[in-house]
Amino acid sequence: MLVVAFVSFSLFNFVGDPINNMVGEETSDQDRAELRETLGLTDPIPVQFFRFVLNASKGQFGISYQLKRPVSELTKLKEVNKPV
């Protein structure tokens, strides 16, 4: 299970910059730095990984880059809208 968590964590963090996926090109460096701090992306990698595993174990998968809403909230909406 930890291997799957590590692979997922690596893909989210090391394939492109998550901040670039969340904001437009016109966003200032200061705003990017503030968002990076807010999301905990300035913490050491082991701290980020531990937080990732802890949150995933509670069903909290962060914020959608595109919709800017919690992923857990979006998956609940998807379950409600499933065809019977």
- For 6-49, the three-class secondary structure string (H helix, E strand, C coil) is HHHHHHHHHCCCHHHHHCCCCCCHHHHHHHHHHCCCCCCHHHHH
HSE at residue 78, side-chain half, CA atoms within 13 A, is 6
pLDDT at 77 (0 to 100): 67
pTM summary value: 0.67
Per-residue pLDDT tens listing for the chain (84 residues)? 788 888 888 877 777 777 877 787 888 999 999 988 988 889 998 999 999 899 888 888 877 777 778 887 887 766 555 565
pLDDT at 30 (0 to 100): 93
